[in-house]
């Protein structure tokens, strides 16, 4: 290429070309461009948090890191061994206590079922049967009716949730 | 405003520093400042609104995700225009082979095979978006710019639409200053030739 570095750039100005170029405007992207971009950007952590992270990293690297890791491992092992030794040493009182807690939990659950839940179900069922009988309906027939309605709802739900995907496909194809 | 700072009057360098601190509003301000210049440059390079928007988005994501690596001794605008221009040029290079196959693949020997492999010319009046593009880029000067070589086109757009100095254009394109001056000189000469027959 011929070296034209010394050429003044405006020597060849043509007023009409210059006017046309000066009249060139800018275009805008579609609305929401800013949000779309920022949605994909990984905003860095604030400086103080990065400082803290770097400090922790510096602690856990090199000789200090190995020393910390070794201390942590020994401490964890000591805690497990101490816990296991205590469990063996005090096994009887621990097992008795655990059994008491488990029994009381099970009996409490049973009591709640027999005193509140089952009577409430029985009472509700009795009331509903009486109400249905007053309307001249059999409870069994009503249950079957409910089953049919639930089935219809499930089929409709399945159809409705599948429909938008098909619609999107059509829109994309025409764009 | 960001923590009492007025983002709209702050310099690019200051906003980038806030973005590096993890201030989301600073990221938004950078997008607001550069979305139109970047989009306009890419749109005039690739001449397709959808593609231009995708490439602009890619440019911003690339720049903002690498904001930690930005060095303040360089201009932020030069950095973002450089990435935008590279994105546009890469796209034009990728697209180039497609434009050669309008008649079908070279190895297609039967008529059926030629039809199957031929590119369909786009009907530009088909969708409202295409009509908008045609209106936006349809003026004589836009058509003339579109006929320039991509490197001339970038130079002339950065100079005349973005008002960038020659040395900044040289930094953006990674070219010597003399080459940029030459490109702009030749681009203007070509534009003059292209617009000449249209003068009354």
Q: Is the pLDDT of residue A1 over 70?
A: no
Question: Is B157 in the same domain as B86?
Answer: no
Q: What tens digit of pLDDT does each residue of A112-125 get? A: 999 999 999 998 88
Chain A within 8 Å of B116 (Cβ-Cβ)?
Answer: no
Cα distance between residue B68 and residue B183, in whole Å: 33
The CA distance from B77 to A26, in Å, is 16
Please give the pLDDT value at position B112.
Answer: 55
If asked whether residues B87 and B152 sit together in one domain, one would say no
Q: Give the per-residue pLDDT at B128.
A: 57
Please choose, from the candidates B54, B71, B61, B51, the residue with its C-alpha nearest in 3D space to the C-alpha of residue B31. B61
Give the whole-angstrom CA distance, residue A119 versus residue A135: 24
Low pLDDT (below 50) residues in chain B: 1-2, 98-108, 114, 116-126
Tell me: do B16 and B91 sit in the same domain: yes
Q: Is residue A142 classed exposed, middle or buried when 0-12, 13-18 and 19+ CB atoms within 10 A define those classes?
A: middle
CA distance B37 to B140: 21
- Tokens standing for B14? 């200051």
Q: Write down the mean pLDDT value for chain A.
A: 78
State whether A33 and B31 contact (CB < 8 Å).
Answer: yes
Q: How many domains does chain B fold into?
A: 2
Q: Which residue of B has its CA nearest to A51?
A: B21
Residue B170 belongs to some domain of the structure = yes
Domain match, B8 and B74 both: yes
Cα B72 → chain centroid: 24
Measure the CA–CA gap between A10 and A15, rounded to whole angstroms.
11
Both B56 and B7 in a single domain? yes
Within a domain: B110: no
pLDDT at B58: 95
User: If you measure CA to CA, which chain B residue comes closest to A175?
Assistant: B127
- Calculate the CA dihedral of residues B127, B128, B132, B137 and round it to 10 degrees: 10
Q: Do B3 and B68 have their domain in common?
A: yes
Contact between chains at A21 and B191 (C-beta distance less than 8 A): yes
- Identify whether B77 is part of a domain: yes
Task: Provide the CATH number for the domain around residue B86.
Answer: 1.10.1740.10
B128 inside domain: no
- Same domain for B149 and B79: no
Helix, strand, or coil (residue B2): strand
B5 touches chain A (CB under 8 A): no
Cβ distance A43 to B27 less than 8 Å, yes or no, reads yes
pLDDT reported for residue A18: 85
Query: What pTM did the predictor assign?
Result: 0.57
Among B100, B124, B153, give the residue marking a domain's end: B100
My answer on whether B3 and B96 are in the same domain is yes
Confidence at residue B4, expressed as pLDDT on a 0 to 100 scale: 54
Mutate to test the interface with A, among B7, B23, B34, B36 (most CBs of A within 10 A): B36
Band of residue A169 on the pLDDT scale cut at 50, 70, 90? very low
**pLDDT of the residue at B104:** 43
Domain around B29 = 1-100
Nearest in space to B33 (alpha carbons), one of B54, B9, B52: B9
B169 CB neighbours in chain A (<8 A) are: none
């Amino acid at each position: 290429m011929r070296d034209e570095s010394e050429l003044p750039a405006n020597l060849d100005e043509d007023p009409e070309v210059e006017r046309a170029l000066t009249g060139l405007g800018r275009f805008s992207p579609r609305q929401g461009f800013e949000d779309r971009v920022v949605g994909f950007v990984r905003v860095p952590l604030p400086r103080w948090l990065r400082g803290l992270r770097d400090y922790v990293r510096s602690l856990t690297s090199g000789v200090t890191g190995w020393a910390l890791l070794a201390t942590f491992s020994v401490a964890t092992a000591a805690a497990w061994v101490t816990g296991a030794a205590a469990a063996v040493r005090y096994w009887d009182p621990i097992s008795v206590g655990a059994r008491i807690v488990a029994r009381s939990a099970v009996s409490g659950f049973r009591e709640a079922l027999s005193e509140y839940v089952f009577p409430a179900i029985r009472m509700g069922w009795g009331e509903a049967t009486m109400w249905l009988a007053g309307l001249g309906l059999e409870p069994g027939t009503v249950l079957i009716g409910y089953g049919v309605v639930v089935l219809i709802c499930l089929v409709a739900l399945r159809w409705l949730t599948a429909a938008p995907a098909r619609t999107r496909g059509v829109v994309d194809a025409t764009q | 405003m960001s923590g009492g700072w007025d983002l709209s009057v702050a310099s690019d360098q200051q906003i980038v520093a806030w973005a590096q601190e993890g201030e989301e509003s600073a990221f938004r301000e950078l997008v607001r400042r550069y979305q139109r210049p970047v989009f306009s440059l890419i749109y005039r390079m690739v001449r397709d609104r959808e593609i231009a928007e995708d490439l602009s988005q890619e440019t911003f994501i690339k720049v903002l995700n690498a904001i930690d690596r930005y060095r303040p001794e360089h201009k932020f605008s030069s950095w973002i225009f450089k990435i935008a221009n590279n994105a546009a040029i890469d796209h034009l290079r990728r697209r180039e082979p497609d434009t050669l196959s309008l008649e079908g693949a070279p190895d297609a020997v039967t008529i059926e095979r030629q039809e199957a492999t031929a590119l369909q010319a786009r009907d530009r009046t088909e969708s409202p978006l295409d009509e908008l593009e045609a209106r936006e880029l349809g003026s004589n000067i836009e058509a003339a710019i579109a006929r320039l070589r991509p490197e001339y086109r970038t130079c002339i757009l950065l100079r005349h639409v973005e008002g960038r100095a020659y040395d900044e254009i040289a930094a953006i394109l990674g070219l010597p200053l003399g080459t940029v001056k030459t490109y702009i000189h030749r681009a203007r000469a070509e534009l003059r030739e292209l617009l000449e027959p249209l003068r009354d």
